[in-house]
Amino acid sequence: MTNFTPEELILYLYKETSAEMTAAIELALKQDWTIREKLTVLKTSMQRLDTLKASPRTEVVLNLLNYARERSIEQVQ
């Protein structure tokens, strides 16, 4: 039985493995419940990452705006 790294399973999920690797992983998935479980965990993680909404803190945005304002004032002078 072949052990697949998480990286290889992620490549499989994103359909970026070779035909040989895909076949090997699919065979292993039929035979080994631990690989199925690892793949399930990775799929769940992918789905959670797809739903995340990230935004910068207000402080960061204000710092950028202040910096831009200061630079524009310097360029006018």
User: Containing domain of residue 30, as a range?
Assistant: 6-76
Number of structural domains (the chain) is 1
Residue 1 lies in a domain: no
43-71: per-residue pLDDT in tens? 999 999 988 888 999 999 999 999 999 98
Instruction: Give the pLDDT confidence score for residue 31 in this predicted structure.
Output: 95
**Is residue 47 a part of any domain in this protein?**
yes
Within-domain flag for 24: yes
Distances (CA, A) of 6 to 9, 42, 45, 55, 74: 5, 8, 12, 28, 51
As a whole-number percent, the residues of the chain with pLDDT over 90 amount to 77
10 within domain boundaries: yes
**pLDDT at residue 50, rounded to an integer:** 86
Q: Is 30's pLDDT higher than 80?
A: yes
Q: Is residue 57 part of a domain?
A: yes
22 Cβ contact list (under 8 Å, min separation 6):
12
